[in-house]
Structure 1
């Protein structure tokens, strides 16, 4: 049997899954940013008429996933698996969305790498012949994340300049074994890497080593270099983490050139006071489902890599003095 594994960590798909559609729903801050016109729907406020931020996030995820199905004219009965994840304890946003959508559900947690991870696992299911259509969705919400990981926004605590702003948004893609659209041709599953960073206000520094490692391993496995890609977009390193990842790659002898950027840098501009940029599961999800997918479909990007980056900590582990492990998962999309 011919193995689909290439090198140490990469899978090359024999029958690359098609991205039939994508859809994104975001909050007002994201809609006011430089990518505002690329999102499918912009909410007027973070609650959108719901009783809590947590309920609102789950509804946002449902809207994004329904939007992806509507864009592709695919009915719920045609979906084999729903794959979703978020930042909240026990991925409650995804669990409650799955409760409402009543689809066979696989919940995934990769922190802010969850979009890339879900696309990779969904592609494996399709390429392996276990599914024809897989619906992927990922969400985060600024106020739910602040309440869980840091301090409630009502307290008005001052944020560190190294901190990133959690994106309020949900992004979804519909993967299929057939049809027209960009294809996911390979995936590189990352390793958990820990450089002993303990500052919860500097997620970029905690995640940068794992992203650099995944890019290095992907390029070694595939015998490629960053210049072979029109775009390499990390999940949400922000400005600090992106700089660190570039430096780590440079020290390893890899020139990233101009193709390497970060979704957390792209989504806000300097006037929006996000400090080091954006973070959250929804960050890479909405940037990919909106801006990057549009650029691939227009022909501007022929070959792109999304490298989801996740900080694998919890409020409990941080209070116990643990460091913050990082993870990076990559998927390659070709138009």
Structure 2
């Protein structure tokens, strides 16, 4: 059901039957290590290129979600996913091992919630019984495409963020037990004219605020409706900017209920500058740590707002500013 201008409310409340989260060696040293289903000890994952390792991350996330949900790949009717590499090839190549009809998505680091929103819409409309939605990123593969190969050792400014190596996938179903997807708000492209590719958080913050405020308005709820509002990967810079914007707009989002996946995934001793980023960031934190917290009864309602910077190496080289987007999905504990 459409509510307001940009929000879908799912009367069927599709179920997150199971999830799969895979991480790399650096993620295994962070505070959320115990919430991953699998952690790899090196960036190669036994492959001969970082891009092939990237593909394997998404394959393993999907396979893990299916195994935990006790479903077979033949039961999956659609796969929705994406990444940051040219033409989202890691996700496309990984999806052939599942064999289900595939919808490749690109919203940069906002892809995880774009996929979850669309997957929930498909199930809510009776278009499928089971759907996999996910996103992934690989530090070395992404750095090589957007900045410099990691071997180059290029110095980054304090505003930059660390692309996580990880993949998260959710198995959505029209029946079963588990957390429920209750609504989604689709973001608009917001461009404030920033051009610095090393300050993604600052560029994405206005898009996050715009989507959160639109969601609250469309649903007619106060921020206190949610136990947690979490952004995808604004990092410390973007998180601070977004809080300033909420205060300026008079939106009563409280600091204690407002978190960021890019800040949560690493500890302060890890040299990640402003925090983590990448499509896999919100995917692994939401589908791993946050859903575990929900299952423990520590969270009843949360709004996950994945944020993305829609630039490419080509647009940066041509002097374009950075268009950004944020997609929000509300997830509620069963019985809420």
Q: TM-score range by the shorter chain?
A: over 0.9
Cα distance in 1 between the residues matched to 2:6 and 2:96: 34
Give the deviation of 1:66 after TM superposition: 0.2
Match of 2:285 among 267, 284, 287: 287
Q: Which residue of 1 aligns with 2:302?
A: 304
Kindly indicate whether residue 246 of structure 2 is the aligned counterpart of residue 240 of structure 1. Answer: no
Per the TM alignment, residue 83 of structure 1 is displaced from its structure 2 partner at its CA by: 1.0
Cα displacement (A) at 1:101: 2.2
Instruction: Specify which of 87, 93, 96 is matched with residue 96 of structure 1.
Output: 93
**Distance in structure 2 (CA, Å) of the matches to 1:291 and 1:320:** 39
Matched, 1:156 2:170: no
Please tell me whether residue 40 in structure 1 is matched to residue 40 in structure 2.
no
Q: Gaps spanning 5+ residues in structure 1: where?
A: none
The answer to whether structure 1 residue 131 and structure 2 residue 119 are counterparts is no
Residue 204 (structure 1) aligns with: 201
Q: 1:312 offset after TM fit, Å? A: 0.3
Partners in 2 of 1:186 and 1:102 — Cα distance? 28
Corresponding position of 1:116: 113
Q: Distance in 2 between matches of 1:98 and 1:61?
A: 8
Check whether the contact 2:24–2:42 (CA below 8 A) recurs between aligned residues: yes
CA contact (8 A) 2:116 2:134 kept: no
Structure 1 runs of 4+ aligned residues shifted over 3 Å read none
Partner of 2:163: 166
1:134-159 deviations in Å (ceiling 9; x for gaps): 01121000001100000111111111
1:64 is aligned, of 40, 45, 61, to 61
Q: 2:261 aligns with which of 263, 280, 295?
A: 263
- Report SS of the residue matched to 1:254: coil
State the distance in 2 between where 1:210 and 1:112 align.
Answer: 12
Aligned to 1:324: 322
2:22 corresponds in structure 1 to 25
Alpha-carbon shift at residue 110 of structure 1 (Å): 0.6
Q: Report how many aligned residue pairs link the two structures.
A: 332
CA RMSD across the alignment: 0.7
On the 8 A contact 2:226/2:303 being kept in 1, the answer is yes
Aligned partners of 1:323, 1:175: CA distance in 2, in Å? 36
1:223 aligns with 2:220: yes
Report the Cα offset of residue 69 of structure 1.
Answer: 0.2
CA shift, 1:99, in A, is 2.1
- Give the drift of 1:274: 0.3
* Mapped partners of 1:99, 1:220: distance in 2: 40
CA shift at 1:256, angstroms? 1.2
> Deviation at 1:98?
1.2
2:310 aligned with 1:315: no
For each residue in 1:148-182, what CA deviation from the matched residue of structure 2 results, as whole angstroms up to 9, or x when unmatched? 00011111111111000000000011000010001
Measure the CA separation in 1 of the matches of 2:8 and 2:300: 20
- Paired residues of 2:75 and 2:130 also in contact (CA < 8 A): yes
1:82 aligns with 2:79: yes
SS at match of 1:271: coil
Query: How far apart, in 1, do the equivalents of 2:223 and 2:20 lie?
Result: 28
Please name the residue that 1:9 is paired with: 6
1:98-143 alpha-carbon deviations (Å, 9 max, x no partner): 1222221111111000000000000000001101100112100000
| CA distances 1:205-249 after superposition (whole Å, capped 9, x unpaired) | 110000000000001111112221111110100000011111111
Q: Deviations over 1:262-313 (max 9, x none)?
A: 0000000110010000000000010011100101111110000100100000
Aligned partner of residue 269 in structure 2, secondary structure? helix
1:52 aligned residue: 49
